[in-house]
Amino acid sequence: METRNSRLFSLLEGKVDAVAIINGGDSQIDHNFKYFTRARSGVFEGSTALIGPKNTAVVTSVLEAPALKGLGVRVSVPKTRKQLEKTLVTLFSKHKTIGLNFPSVSYESFRALKKAYRGKIVDVSEEIAKCRSVKDGDEIKKIAESCRIASMAAEKIPGMLTEGMTESQLAARLSMALYEEGSEGPSFSPIVSFGRTSAIPHYFPGKVKLKKGDFVLTDFGGKYDMYCSDITRTCIFGKATERQRELYETVKSSQEAALKLIKAGAREVDVDAAARKVIDGSSFKGRFIHGLGHGLGLQVHDGRPVLSPRGTEVLKEGMVVTVEPGAYVDGYGGVRIEDDVVVTRNGYRQLTTAKRELIEV
């Protein structure tokens, strides 16, 4: 039976003897630590996991050790700084070459590793990203449940809207809806924008008040058993104008064109191009200013795949990806529609299910 460890080492093809996942402080926690240990709780600041083809060893604190109980992980709990250094030296010295996820390692952590280990260190971040890009059955079940929760919350949005409310107030109600539907919490700070601010893709909700005729764009997601969802819906508070309807239907058609191409073996760049062609063939040419989608998993941006003009690879069965075309008109507003799908051999399975038709509230 293939495990996450064995899948990683099959990709490494003998490049290293072991892989070290090193956590620093709160802002330097590598999600790969929980991916390989399968720990559901715990922060694991300052902890190290050494991944082998068949087993995993963790050096951590007495505070975090209980979170690893029953996971088949060998745990060491040094009590002093001196014991910690000795434990790491003993652990690393058994291997001639160690792989490291370079993008997540701070300079301080790298210096500590060099002090404990005199062997060869190589970057294996590409292999780790490829390993995580194809989800196993357990991961897909968790992402699917996270997407179900987010979809239920999205269906409640029209009923949350009241004239004069602020973007921040809607963001708060949206976050509460995620908890009510069974989420562990938001997978990222919700994007909520009214009217003109909907033309800013990565907008942070503020004190703008909702008024009749406004676009209402909400981009949010929740977590279920650590796994993320990511959904965007745009509606109109009032009756849509002809131009608003045209903008919405253009983006919706763009997403549909991309979805038709998604299947194992499809090129990332081709899927993006199909969506971009629809928008650039309309009166909103040049208004699609970001990539079409990104991988989804333990992180809301899970690295692979990448649906964009810079995409260089093909989709594989078991990948989970967002499909989120958008068109934005400065000073007027924007529309984005985002759904999460799992790639199958001959197509895709849509995980987010909230209505995609234009809603006028």
* Same domain flag for 173 and 295: yes
> Would 307 be classed as within a structural domain?
yes
Specify the CATH number for the domain of residue 298.
3.90.230.10
Note the pLDDT of residue 25. Answer: 84
* Same domain flag for 120 and 186: no
Specify the CATH number for the domain of residue 96.
3.40.350.10
**What HEC string does 17-41 produce?**
CEEEEECCCHHHCCCHHHHHHCCCC
Q: What is the chain's percent helix, strand, coil content, to nearest 5? A: 35, 25, 40
Q: Are 296 and 139 a contacting pair, CB within 8 Å?
A: no
Question: Of 104, 132, 160, which one is at a domain's C-terminal end?
Answer: 132
Query: Tokens 């802002």 map to which residue?
Result: 27
> Would 141 be classed as within a structural domain?
yes
Sequence letter at residue 252: K
* Same domain flag for 105 and 231: no
* Same domain flag for 53 and 154: no
Collapsing DSSP states into helix, strand and coil, what is residue 119?
coil
> Would 346 be classed as within a structural domain?
yes
* Same domain flag for 243 and 127: no
| pLDDT of 1 above 70 | no
> Would 357 be classed as within a structural domain?
no
Q: What is the mean pLDDT of residues 7-11?
A: 97
Tell me the average pLDDT of the chain. Answer: 96
> Would 228 be classed as within a structural domain?
yes
Q: Which helix (H) or strand (E) holds 334?
A: strand 333-336
Question: Of 76, 110, 132, which one is at a domain's C-terminal end?
Answer: 132
Question: Of 80, 100, 132, which one is at a domain's C-terminal end?
Answer: 132
Give the integer Cα–Cα distance in Å for 138 and 136: 6
* Same domain flag for 113 and 251: no
| pLDDT of 307 above 80 | yes
Task: Pull the structure tokens for residue 10.
Answer: 């099959």
Structure confidence by residue, pLDDT tens digits, 273-294? 999 999 999 999 999 999 999 9
Note the pLDDT of residue 114. Answer: 87
Domain enclosing residue 74, as ranges: 4-132
* Same domain flag for 93 and 194: no
> Would 360 be classed as within a structural domain?
no
* Same domain flag for 219 and 125: no
| pLDDT of 41 above 70 | yes
Structure confidence by residue, pLDDT tens digits, 205-217? 999 999 999 999 9
Structure confidence by residue, pLDDT tens digits, 15-38? 999 999 999 887 889 999 999 999
Domain count within the chain: 2
* Same domain flag for 42 and 164: no
Give the integer Cα–Cα distance in Å for 63 and 9: 30
> Would 90 be classed as within a structural domain?
yes
Sequence letter at residue 331: G
- Torsion angles phi and psi, residue 318, rounded to 5: 100, -10
Distances (CA, A) of 188 to 42, 145, 230: 19, 17, 9
* Same domain flag for 151 and 287: yes
* Same domain flag for 325 and 207: yes
* Same domain flag for 220 and 314: yes
> Would 356 be classed as within a structural domain?
no
Angle at 223 between CA 219 and CA 228, to 5 degrees: 65
Q: Are 275 and 257 a contacting pair, CB within 8 Å?
A: yes
Structure confidence by residue, pLDDT tens digits, 94-123? 999 999 999 999 888 888 888 888 899 999
